[in-house]
Amino acid sequence: MSDVESFLDQRVIDLVNSYITSNANPETKVTHHLPPEKLRSKIDLTLPENGSSLDELYLTIEQYLNFSVRTGHRQFFNQLWSGFTLPGFLGEIIASLANTSMYTYEVAPVATLMEKELIKKLGSICGFKNPEGMFVTGGSNGNLQAMMIARNRALPFVKSHGYKDSPELMAFVSEEAHYSFEKSANILGLGSANLRKIKTDDRGRMIPEELAMAIEQSSQKGKAPFFVGATAGTTVKGAFDPLTEIASIARQHDLWFHVDGSLGGTVVLSARHRHLLRDLVKADSFIWNAHKLMGLPLICSILLIREKGHLLQTNSVTGTDYIFHDEAYGACDLGPMSLQCGRRVDALKLWLSWKYYGDLGYAERVDRFFELAAFAEDIVSRTPSLELMAPRSSVNVCFRYIPNTSEDIDKFNLDLREELARKGKALVNFARLGENVAIRLVIANHELAREDISRFFDYLIQTAESLDR
């Protein structure tokens, strides 16, 4: 028996099954919440000169799982993703087993056809008649590439000659847009000062009139507006910008119109809620994170472009004939369109999951997320000690606990959140809304039920009452 065969024995299967099963047990801690020094003392992190046995590796794997945050736990609400799906897990395993890269059809024939089929499917759902697309390394990467395409459209010579003698470009996003847009402005050499952040309303949505005014002001100052990025599901409030109005303004000024649907893109699968993405078809580009509301393992992100040609025009370079030289199947190669060279097979886990759940299965899951978020919002509204901090737009519920004894409400809620984590009862994040701290509850786990939401609020109120004495 080889080392691999001996390692992939019943121990590993039992370990995986035990880990998955224990995530559903309310008594299982979500996190051990140890400081770095204490955690380091519990795990041997040294890399030996002579190597270790498979038994030692197995022990390390057990420790890794034991001390890692259980993101599949039903009391993990800390990020915009959570949960576990079997098809996605299988896709990760098989992708690693086959261990290929997505640059040529020659080395990734099945994966290439799957990715192309998914781009076609996603483009059709968005209403794009002639789409192209690419799996990328996250929503931030997708926002960067969309802005890069827009820049090259505005300044066709910049790809070969740089910014010499070019006008000063100006991009526009909402004040609640993801911070990756500012990083993109930095990477592309625009400068953060040339990323204008537009005011939002009380729900966190970009105000179209403010956008129109900002574009006019920038033009009057001699700058060259070229890009507007709307958000479909903001990070904190889960808000959806008004795409119809923004698209109209972008078209009027000939700006590239991008939609960051990293969180809320999956909502387009729901007949009941896709109105939040009305007129998405007018977007020039769209980023969609399937590892969020579609429940796929990280990373699974797709950048869609409404019209073919932009990705190849922006990302193709010379000196690639050593790899892209297949005369028979070269038209299928995805590498020339990609910003990356080596690229993992992320399409498989999405394809398998979609094959398993189908369109209707995913639509039902999106609808359930909204129902559970409304249920959580109702608990907040009915509980005197809880206060809703922003109107709910989708799957994010922002609230806080109002203590009787403490005058510093922000500090109390930070302590409350920390105590929940310290006990391993629940892991939930917080954000600042204006000058106030809000606890941000995100509903994104496909296995969640009402009793899990109720359990979370029971834990929270019990813990708060123990602190509020």
Which residue, chain included where needed, has tokens 């890692």? 68
Q: How far is Cα 233 from Cα 176, in angstroms, rounded to an integer?
A: 10
Contact (Cβ atoms closer than 8 angstroms) between residue 172 and residue 228:
yes
Contact (Cβ atoms closer than 8 angstroms) between residue 301 and residue 291:
yes
CA geometry: angle at 340 spanning 122 and 96, to 5°? 75
Domain 1-31+69-99+347-469 fold is Aspartate Aminotransferase, domain 1 (3.90.1150)
- Pairing of the two strands 396-401 and 436-442: antiparallel
Residues of the chain with pLDDT under 50: none
**pLDDT reported for residue 318:** 85
Region(s) of the chain under CATH 3.90.1150.170? 1-31+69-99+347-469
Contact (Cβ atoms closer than 8 angstroms) between residue 228 and residue 257:
yes
Look up residue 440 and give its two tokens. 């941000």
**pLDDT reported for residue 6:** 61
Q: How far is Cα 415 from Cα 411, in angstroms, rounded to an integer?
A: 6
At residue 291, what are phi and psi to the nearest 5 degrees?
Answer: -80, 0
The residue among 365, 367, 335, 370 whose CA lies nearest residue 353 is 365
Q: How far is Cα 228 from Cα 171, in angstroms, rounded to an integer?
A: 6
The residue among 413, 387, 392 whose CA lies nearest residue 264 is 392
Region(s) of the chain under CATH 3.40.640.10? 101-344
C-beta neighbour count of 224 within 10 angstroms: 14
Domain 101-344 fold is Aspartate Aminotransferase; domain 2 (3.40.640)
pLDDT in tens, 435-457: 999 999 999 999 999 999 999 99
- Pairing of the two strands 285-289 and 301-305: antiparallel
